[in-house]
Amino acid sequence: MKQVKNDEAFVAFERVQKSYDGEVLVVKDLNLTIPKGEFLTLLGPSGSGKTTCLMMLAGFETATHGDIRLDGVSVNNIPPHKRGIGMVFQNYALFPHMTVGENLSFPLEVRKMGKAERETKVKRALDMVQMGDFAARRPAQMSGGQQQRVALARALVFEPELVLMDEPLGALDKQLRETLQFEITNLAHELGITVVYVTHDQTEALTMSDRVAVFDDGRIQQLAPPDELYEKPINSFVAQFIGENNTLTGVVQEIGADRCTVRLDSGDIIDAMPVNVNAVGDRTKVSIRPERVEIDKTRLQPGAHTLKAEVLEFIYMGDIFRTRLRVAGTDEFVIKTRNAPDQVRLTPGTQIEIGWLAQDCRALDA
Ligand SMILES: Nc1ncnc2c1ncn2[C@@H]1O[C@H](COP(=O)(O)OP(=O)(O)O)[C@@H](O)[C@H]1O
Ligand SMILES: [Mg+2]
């Protein structure tokens, strides 16, 4: 992962709110600073306010309250075309009547650039996205992936320091999406540009970003690097939204600084990290990742609690085995084990015992 060069805020949202109808706030109280060169993703379910945030930064929507700054300057009264921001959206929005070359040349003409310089820049931008041979084509004569590469080149051609992308790969098939994810992050890092990227696809967010802001209901639920989001979710929404997660519900029975004991609704007792619970008697959802569950008791701490489980389903997935269990009253408990030569393949109907390290199990809000 790239090191961000300085911590100064290049983009800053301060106490930003947005309402379209004067009543409902679709963005509630956004505070977010993005350093230069960072690849930051807004991730969240549909309707959570991601596009609205991007549109306010681009200047196509105005904030109802608060301040947005770009390189230290408040942009509230600067029109979109004067903000110097490159943009890519899901539905390409290339001009259909123009060739690829003309599409790229257009933002440069708007900036009153001379012909020779325009040609150099267009060529360079197309080469960057491996579309150098396509300058004479029209959008209708290209595949979706090719059009999206051109859209990317068009966003980069005037060498903006900031590029906004709203679900730019949403319309493409999985393999092409993965290729372009890789190309976009490489290009962004090579050029040193700052990217604010929007997606509802958590895998995309985790693989591409330096940091991810998880959105729900107009608020940032957690802002962190990908590994921290996955391994240290701070609430149940994030634990559930990022990656695969097992949830068991219960009540906090004892609580200390870094351990709590939870009595599950099934009556079983387990140990967990108290993350988003405060006191004895609090209801909690405990969260445990499928790959952190141990079926080999020798790998647990002495005295660790274990739970009885019945194997319901065993799925061979090549690199891993995914096993569904009945545990503490739920039939949806999933564990993942590596396909190693000594790893047992669990047969449905088998009774086993499972456990985990308390630090891998997080007691979150109910
Ligand atoms: N132009 C608009 N006028 C009125 N309501 C809008 C408009 N754009 C978005 N909304 C509403 O604002 C909320 C957030 O939308 P949006 O920012 O598009 O979310 P996301 O991009 O996360 O799906 C939604 O409830 C949506 O219906
Ligand atoms: Mg959107």
Residue type, 58: A
Q: Which of 26, 56, 165, 219 to mutate to test the pocket of ligand 1 (most atoms within 8 A of CB)?
A: 26
Q: How far is the CA of 286 from the centre of ligand 1 (A)?
A: 32
Binding pocket residue ranges, ligand 1, CB within 6 Å: 20, 26, 44, 46-52
Q: Which two tokens mark 89?
A: 């959206």
Q: Where are the alpha helices (DSSP H) in the chain?
A: 50-58, 100-110, 115-128, 144-156, 174-191, 202-208, 226-231, 236-241
Q: Helix axis angle, 174-191 relative to 144-156, nearest 10°?
A: 10
Exposure string over 252-289, b if 16+ CB within 10 A, otherwise e = beebeeeebbbebeeebebbbbbbbbeeeebebbbbbb
Q: In 3-state terms, what secondary structure has residue 344? A: coil
Q: How far is the CA of 49 from the centre of ligand 1 (A)?
A: 6
Q: Kindly give the number of the ligand 1 atom that is closest to the alpha carbon of 215.
A: 22
Q: How far is the CA of 20 from the centre of ligand 1 (A)?
A: 8
pTM over 0.85: yes
Instruction: Return phi, psi of residue 120, to 5°.
Output: -60, -45
Nearest residue to 223 (alpha-carbon basis) of 93, 357, 32, 54 = 32
Give the integer Cα–Cα distance in Å for 166 and 236.
Answer: 26
Per-residue pLDDT of the chain (366 residues; tens, 9 = 90+): 444 444 569 999 999 999 999 999 999 999 999 999 999 999 999 999 999 999 999 999 999 999 999 999 999 889 998 899 999 987 657 899 999 999 999 989 988 899 999 999 999 999 988 899 999 999 999 988 899 889 989 998 988 999 999 999 888 888 888 988 998 999 899 989 999 999 999 999 999 999 999 999 999 999 999 999 999 999 999 999 999 999 999 999 999 999 999 999 999 999 999 999 999 999 999 999 999 999 888 888 887 788 999 999 999 999 999 999 999 999 999 999 999 888 888 999 999 999 999 999 999 999
Domains of the chain plus CATH, in order, are 6-236 (3.40.50.300), 244-365 (2.40.50.100)
Residue 302 makes CB contacts below 8 A (sequence gap 6+) with none
